[in-house]
Amino acid sequence: SSGAISPHHLEAALEKRTRTGGLGDSQGALPVGARSRGEVDGCPSQHPGAFVRARDFEFPSCGDGPGHGVGVPLRAGTNPLVRAGRGRASGRVPAPDAFQTLRRGRGRFRIIQWDKRSAKYFFDKFDILCLRGQDVLSGTQERIRVSDSEFNVESIALDDSETYRAMRSGELIGIPQSASPAMRQAHVRLRTDNLHDASLVQAGIRPGVGGAVKINELIARRRGKPYTFSHPEFERILGLTYGIIVFQEQVDQLLQTFCGFTSGEAEEMRESIHKRRREDYGAQIKEQILKRIQEQGFSEGVAEQVYEYVAGFKGYGFAQGHALAFAEISIRSIYCQQNYPAEYFAALLTAQPAGYYGPHTLVNEARARGVAILSPCVQRSCETFSVEDFRSRTDPQLLVPRSAIRVGLMQIKGLSKDTCRRILDAKPRGDELATSPVEAVRNAANFSPAEPHMSAGELACGASDPAPQTVARSVSGGQAASSFFEFVARTRPERDELEALLLCGALDALHPNRRAMLWAIPRALDFAHARKEHGGLDLGVPEPEIPDGIADFNAAEKALHERALLDLDVESHLLSFERERIRERGGLTAADARRLPQGVKAFVVGNPIRLRFPPTPSGKCVVFFDLEDETGLLNVTCFDAVYRKYGHAIVCSPYVTVVGRAQDRDGHTAFLAERVFAYAPRLVELASNAASLPHKTADFLVG
């Protein structure tokens, strides 16, 4: 069996069950993956239905709130004694009197060490997929419930036609388990139309280039290529996968049906074919398999075909349960992204790293979907990314509900947790969402219904962007810092933290000139020190003044600082500063290039990210990378000759000009590079401090 659960939910479930002693009830439930059959040969039988605490390590609990208890009912008469727990077992391990030694794993986790080769003969196996995608869905649900208390991600329909239309379009940036170029291309080519199709893509692509699934043949048959079955049992086992082995269970079924193996023998043989593939184990057992099949009464031709099926599946493959669990997460994520983009991207950014692309790419995608990105603010930001209403800059009377994401303090590089907590503590007392969106739901009743436009972000951080030097008051009457100097005195950040806060725009609500605040840092630190010596009391010591006549950073300089400190672009992608220059020379955007007909030549400028060097049968080098600009991503292919000539520019340059031709791959447009040149960005001229652009080069994905 297999299932998916978020890592912190699994830990909380185990913590709750072991603390409350819920393991002694045979009619109760145990966390998925935490129970085994009690009456198994070779296992201790003392104290059935009981457990002991192995050791009381200090692990933070994730709480016992709704949705944290994940379990499966136990069969009547089954001893619910837990024999083994692996990493993330909350430090409390249910066990009989004699238990395995707990060993220190990575970080704060302890692990029970079992011999996996022998343990599988005595214990039921449950695969727990601790996926960040589940954290994304959980965070999305919490944010949506601020405005819709009845929303539940588990109630999202898995047959929604618009969801599968989005899958077939390949517009899946930011979708856990489906965002990589290979996954997006496969959904387009396969024409995914239901959960089963989505699971085929997961099983065919996610194992990687060493996978066992013949994905190109699978896609061809799915799109109409004829095929036949030489025996009715082949159709029974392989019919739903178009005559191709896709899932591990299908190999087991073939061996059981045609060879007469037990389920255990079949699984052992399948695992051996995979694990011993370097010694060509499949060829070594060919005669044994052929003989066994013919002894079962099948013809030599059928025996040969069974062997080809079984021996050919020697790469890594997925169990069907894994593929379905991954596909289900993607489907629910697509629905949330399509219908609640602000809540979804806020949860996704909070859960990073949670997918194929980094924050700057995800923010670019959110912006393309109509979500406004708001800079961090010490008066309004929560620790995590939050959702706010957005007031139009061109028409202040226009307020778009729940259409903006406020960058959380967690995203500011170099900001310590202690300083972050002091900033949050210094905010007005109504900011419950600074800790969790759930708290905002619980406290929403405290707000007057006369304020009809209060959003998730406003419940947390105030109703609108405050003007410089204004005072923000909470529901309880608390008062936020009214000046730059008062903020420094209250929160006592280190100098480098203070510089990071003001350069990324988090202090704009206190003063509009970032460079002037930078000049005033020594005075602010002296003022904070003097205030601290008096026990934090205001004894009439006058605040210093921020110097006048200092020119602020220009837009390009602010954008560069924000990218360097936040790893994302607040107003727009850095390439937007280059667009006019590129357009004048005939260059296309990534979005324009994706719409080119087959074979049309063009050039595109962008930031090359996610370089991939998959192995090839010929041994020649082929490079895939994404070219990113303000309109999105363009998938670029670079063959051996081109890479040998222009590879230095691809690997070492923050921006490149790619000259090539559009290539239609069964409905998915790629760009075949012919020449690649380093691009000298205009930002260097616009920003005096741009000698070193904040970018990522050599962003490799090897294999």
* Contact by Cβ (8 Å): 627, 664: no
Give the span between the Cα atoms of 285 and 413, in whole angstroms: 56
Give the span between the Cα atoms of 365 and 360, in whole angstroms: 9
pLDDT at res. 517 = 96
Arithmetic mean of pLDDT, 68-92: 41
The band of 80, judged by pLDDT with boundaries at 50, 70 and 90, is very low
Q: Which of 462, 463, 470, 529 is nearest to 495 (CA)?
A: 529
Arithmetic mean of pLDDT, 531-544: 74
pLDDT at res. 274 = 85
pLDDT at res. 540 = 67
* Contact by Cβ (8 Å): 38, 84: no
CATH code: domain 574-702 is 2.40.50.140
* Contact by Cβ (8 Å): 587, 605: yes
Average pLDDT of every residue of the chain: 79
DSSP 218-274: HHHHHTT-----SSHHHHHHHGGGTTS--BHHHHHHHHHHHH---HHHHHHHHHHHH
pLDDT at res. 683 = 82
Least confident of 53-67, 118-132, 554-568: 53-67
Arithmetic mean of pLDDT, 94-120: 66
pLDDT at res. 113 = 67
Least confident of 276-285, 376-385, 485-494: 276-285
pLDDT at res. 584 = 94
Arithmetic mean of pLDDT, 65-87: 40
Residue 336 reports pLDDT greater than 70: yes
Cα angle, residue 648 at apex, residues 647 and 651 outer, rounded to 5°: 85
DSSP 532-593: HHTTT---SPPPP-PPSSPPPP-HHHHHHHHHHHHSS-SSS-GGGGGHHHHHHTTPBPHHHH
Arithmetic mean of pLDDT, 512-523: 95
The band of 57, judged by pLDDT with boundaries at 50, 70 and 90, is very low
pLDDT at res. 692 = 52
Say which residue, 463 or 506, is predicted with more confidence.
506
Residue 66 reports pLDDT greater than 50: no
Say which residue, 65 or 125, is predicted with more confidence.
125
Residue 37 reports pLDDT greater than 90: no
**Domain regions of the chain by residue span:** 1-130, 222-317, 371-566, 574-702
How confident is the model over 657-680, as pLDDT tens digits? 999 999 998 888 999 999 999 998
How confident is the model over 585-638, as pLDDT tens digits? 999 999 999 999 999 999 999 999 999 998 888 889 999 999 999 999 999 999
pLDDT at res. 542 = 81
CA quadruple 582, 588, 591, 593: dihedral sign: negative
Q: Which of 522, 448, 534 is nearest to 485 (CA)?
A: 522
Alpha-helical runs (H) found in 567-694: 579-584, 590-594, 640-652, 683-686
Q: Quick check: bond before 353 cis, omega within 30?
A: yes
Residue 18 reports pLDDT greater than 60: no
Residue 582, φ and ψ in degrees, nearest 5:
-70, -40
The 3-state DSSP class for residue 637 equals strand
Residue that the structure tokens 């895939």 belong to: 624
Say which residue, 685 or 144, is predicted with more confidence.
144
Arithmetic mean of pLDDT, 521-532: 91
Share of the chain above pLDDT 70, in %: 72
Arithmetic mean of pLDDT, 231-237: 95
Rg (CA), the chain: 29
Arithmetic mean of pLDDT, 579-585: 94
pLDDT at res. 392 = 84
pLDDT at res. 489 = 92
Residue 20 reports pLDDT greater than 80: no
* Contact by Cβ (8 Å): 308, 258: no
pLDDT at res. 12 = 52
pLDDT at res. 316 = 78
Q: Measuring CA to CA, how many Å separate 55 from each of 86, 309, 563? A: 14, 48, 45
pLDDT at res. 278 = 84
Give the span between the Cα atoms of 506 and 498, in whole angstroms: 10
Residue 90 reports pLDDT greater than 80: no
Residue 35 reports pLDDT greater than 80: no
Residue 537 reports pLDDT greater than 60: yes
Give the span between the Cα atoms of 478 and 428, in whole angstroms: 5
Arithmetic mean of pLDDT, 70-90: 40
